[in-house]
Amino acid sequence: MKKVVILIGNYCSGKTELAMNMAVLASGRGLKTQVIDLDRINDYFRMSDHIEMLLSRKIDVVSPAFAGKGVTQTVMPARVASAFDGDWDLVIFDVGGDQAGALSLARYHQDFAALEPGQLEVYDIVNVFRPMSESPEKIIKLKGELEGFARQKVTGFVNNSNLLNYASAEDLRRGYEVLRETSDLTGIPIVHTTGRKKFLDEFLADGRDPRYIGEPIALETYMHRSWDAFSHGRI
């Protein structure tokens, strides 16, 4: 059965990096995989600029025209319909981290509604070191806003807490504590904890409650981001 995963979340939470990693892992397992790039707002950190790498992994990519040339198109291609009509094992939607990004998803509300029960998952990607994501209260508030714009309900949280070049296992520990409380307050499970393998392994060695970890995903770094751009909210 086709699986559709929507990745939403705050600016710079790591949605695109995770989308690329999930796609590469799935394709490596022999799954017919498609990625829909709906992030039209971030010229600093876009999947569109890495199409060739994804295509080389036999991943189908639907993205704005002029990808890789630093130009953002305002109209998404009609080929988004292939996500629902095509014979895919996994389709990943990478959604921009603001109202416009979430609204771009809402236009396909009827298509999502037509999916069979269990086919659709909506993951809120959380980096607790980003503004509006530092506490359970802020995460829940932002989640509600994005759900309203996107017309979708979050089904799982992803702990992707990191400080880029300054990342450590301690970042994941902080994210674990914040998201554990968030999960308890909302009843929404943590489905993944993600990070560079070195730090993820160190974190997992702590032996924390697996209910608040989910399935770990060791991330390869495909997107190279600068600390200056990250700290100023540009990526």
Confidence of residue 68 (pLDDT cuts 50, 70, 90): very low
Q: What is the number of domains present in the chain? A: 1
pLDDT tens column, 90-107? 999 999 776 777 788 888
Q: Which alpha helices (DSSP H) does the chain contain, by range?
A: 15-28, 51-56, 82-85, 99-106, 109-113, 136-150, 169-186, 197-204, 227-231
Among residues of the chain, what percentage have pLDDT more than 90? 67
- Separation between Cα atoms, residue 151 and residue 124, nearest integer Å: 14
Residue 148 belongs to what domain range?
3-231
H/E stretch holding 33 reads strand 33-38
Q: Longest Cα pair distance anywhere in the chain, in angstroms?
A: 47
CATH number at 47 reads 3.40.50.300
pLDDT tens column, 114-140? 999 999 999 999 999 999 999 999 999
Q: What is the mean pLDDT of the chain?
A: 86
pLDDT higher for 228 or 110? 110
The whole-number pLDDT of residue 76 equals: 57
Mean pLDDT, to the nearest integer, of 166-187?
Answer: 96
The answer to whether the CB of 172 falls within 8 A of the CB of 200 is: yes
State pTM to two decimals.
Answer: 0.88
